[in-house]
Amino acid sequence: MDSSLVVLARAGAGLVLDLDTPGLPRVLHWGADLGPGVDGAAFRSVAVPGRRGGAPPEPATPTLLPAQVDGWVGRPAVSGDRDRAYPHLRLVPSSVSVAPDGGGVEVASRDDAAGVAVVSSLVLDEAGVLRVRHTLTNEGAGAWTVGGLRAVLPVPDHAAELLHFSGRWGLEKIPQRERFLPGIRSLETRRGRTGHSHTGLLVAGTTGFGFGSGEVWGVHAGWSGWTVHDAERLAEGWSTLGAGELLAAGEVVLAPGESYATPDVYFVHSDAGLDGLSARLHTSLRARAAHPTTPRPLVLNTWEAVYFDHDLDRMRGLADRAAAVGVERFVVDDGWFLGRRNDLGGLGDWFVDPGLWPKGLHPLVEHVRSLGMQFGLWVEPEMANPRSRLVEEHPDWLLSDPDRLPRPWRHQHTVDVANPSVYAYLLERLDALVSEYAIDYLKWDHNRDLLEAVHDGHAGVHEQTAAVYRLLDELRSRHPSLEIESCSSGGARVDLGIIQRTDRVWASDSNDPLDRQAIQRWTSLLLPPELIGAHVGPGRTHVSGRVTELQLRCATALFGHAGIEWDITQCSPSELELLTEWAATYKRLRPLLHTGRVVRADTDDAHVLHGVVGDGQAVFSYVALATMTADIPPRLRFPGLEPDVTYRVAPVPGLSSALPRWARAAAWLESGGVELPGRVLSLVGVQAPTLNPAQVLTLELTAIAP
């Protein structure tokens, strides 16, 4: 390989850096692995655009930190100043080191006049996910104000379309498709949490890319505070994807010797559509040392069963019924702590309420454990009600301007976790609760945006986010077996920053199975199913009011970290029988569901087909979302199967709807299943049954020994 190039290549993904520049290395290629033997001069001659009349003699190309010093007229990757001086950095490399295995490179650079140094770290992991982090250090005299620091990489001009997401409470991850037009598409969140409308991934792709087709490039900032994700296309012929933390004015000011590091920014390429992209991310996350390795316990959460009506006998009865149907983890939600009878008071006072629990939680915990279940508890450590001892005694502990409070939201305000006194109080209370009750699991909630977040007289979201991360890290360090769920009004804090410190996310406060089909499909673009909480709710959904059948609710929750959120003491015998059968099916299939490859068929708007494929086994769910216009439903073509393996396809007992009385099942269903090679099942498929809207067919595919 030409010594003027640095090539990172793993798992079919590749990055090419050009060192033959006066400044920072240029990024000549990010995408598919180009293979060995790339000549630097030849590649440079085709990768760098020519010069047009009136253009600068040296054409601008994206560097590791594109800036105007390079002739870059797009959004700069780095900005800042020293008392309004040196607004434009001229960074010159001082060293370049490549990892021995070729999976990473570190570039150190500095601007001597500005007194600023930057270390850029790029690591391409064994799944083909590229992780980029820049660290800026103030090496000069006086303070340096960081304006912004982002990770940016080029994408080719045949990336013609963009995919990102919008959303709201109860309906997260709504896909948005648009053309990749000249100019900049900037997706910014200023909520103090990633938000229900957080993009999760910003994806650029070839025209018409889908789940199983097209070439795609994606970017994600692993940070839970303010973020920016952008796609930019310049007249000079360059297109880029970038992401990073979004900083408020004066939020990060570095004293001499201090540093600011960007969050890890993840870049992912796939030449096999969106499924290929998510397969890389899932493989990368599953390779982490902290990734959950024990079977994901079947959960019962008490929220939609009892709400704030806490009573020991009622909870014991719910626990008895939960254990009988096969639940493995019993989680007590909001309402257990001091003064908490509704959402108007108590938040922040993390002591068990003696009026509700005169002997503490011990009688309930002991009963739950006697039934063979783990015990979990809901907390919202970052928030407090004005009607609480915490706020009454320590009004200065709120994350706000000292002269005025921000607008109220849900009758609560945010506590300043970066305040050492607040941090110490929260750590002591959480540590004490986990220790006293040997708590297995915390559902950690975060139920409002951070408005006018002020810490120590300046914008405080950055320090708040970093302090919450430290709190989670310290709690986990003290209790290594403790598992934590990231919940934020449902799916408003889903990112790869929080997931490094937690064991699953709550994808949405809505358990509506029809809405959940889309919410889980798009959340799983970033996260594997075992990290996504999915519960069976009551027949009438708490959030949407929609009434759905139990088979659909069970089938939807199967494809995640499954649980129940329903007062099952009120269930009929037939409902309990189905729940028990579903619980057993979940336990039998979770080795596949939580290690296999997630696949999704490209279908019309009236139905979805998705599944998980493993070695010699697969499970798929076919759901009718709306009334079909065609008289005959489409064929079900199953992606991801081994072409030369013969599979038996059969319905999963209890997880399929009864067909409408006027419909007739396909012949293969009437006979109880069919055996066909994977090639046939993928390319030709099988005839789908006719389903009414909100009905489901769940199928298990099992390889037949030759």
Positive or negative: CA dihedral 500, 196, 491, 413: positive
Residue 185: strand pairing partners: 231
Whether 509 is catalytic is yes
Q: What is the rounded distance in angstroms from the CA atom of residue 297 to the CA atom of residue 503?
A: 12
Which element (helix H / strand E) includes 116?
strand 116-124
Positive or negative: CA dihedral 237, 239, 244, 246: positive
Backbone angles phi, psi at 526, to 5 degrees: -95, -45
CB 539 within 8 A of CB 547: yes
CB 173 within 8 A of CB 280: no
Q: What is the rounded distance in angstroms from the CA atom of residue 393 to the CA atom of residue 391?
A: 5
CB 110 within 8 A of CB 91: yes
CB 118 within 8 A of CB 136: yes
Residue 665 in tokens: 């099942």
3-state secondary structure of 203: strand
Residue 105: strand pairing partners: 98, 122
CB 381 within 8 A of CB 424: no
How many residues in total does the chain contain? Answer: 706
CB 72 within 8 A of CB 60: yes
Residue carrying structure tokens 């509506």: 512
Amino acid (1-letter code) at residue 154: P
CB 568 within 8 A of CB 299: no
Q: What is the rounded distance in angstroms from the CA atom of residue 568 to the CA atom of residue 578?
A: 12
Residue 439 in tokens: 């708590």
161-168/202-205 β-pairing: antiparallel
CA-derived radius of gyration, the chain: 27
Which element (helix H / strand E) includes 517?
helix 513-523
Whether 445 is catalytic is yes
Residue carrying structure tokens 């709120």: 398
Those residues whose C-beta lies under 8 Å from the C-beta of residue 50, and which sit 6 or more positions away, are 59
Amino acid (1-letter code) at residue 577: E
CB 28 within 8 A of CB 17: yes
The active-site residue out of 111, 125, 440, 445 is 445
Which element (helix H / strand E) includes 621?
strand 617-624
Q: Hey, how many other C-beta atoms are within 10 angstroms of the C-beta on 308?
A: 15
Residue carrying structure tokens 């099988």: 686
In eight-state DSSP terms, residue 314 is H
Q: Hey, how many other C-beta atoms are within 10 angstroms of the C-beta on 458?
A: 15
In eight-state DSSP terms, residue 679 is H
Q: Hey, how many other C-beta atoms are within 10 angstroms of the C-beta on 602?
A: 16
Q: What is the rounded distance in angstroms from the CA atom of residue 541 to the CA atom of residue 548?
A: 8
CB 240 within 8 A of CB 159: no
The active-site residue out of 275, 509, 512, 515 is 509
Q: At what angle do helices 420-437 and 461-478 cross, to 10 degrees?
A: 30
Q: Which residues are catalytic?
A: 445, 509
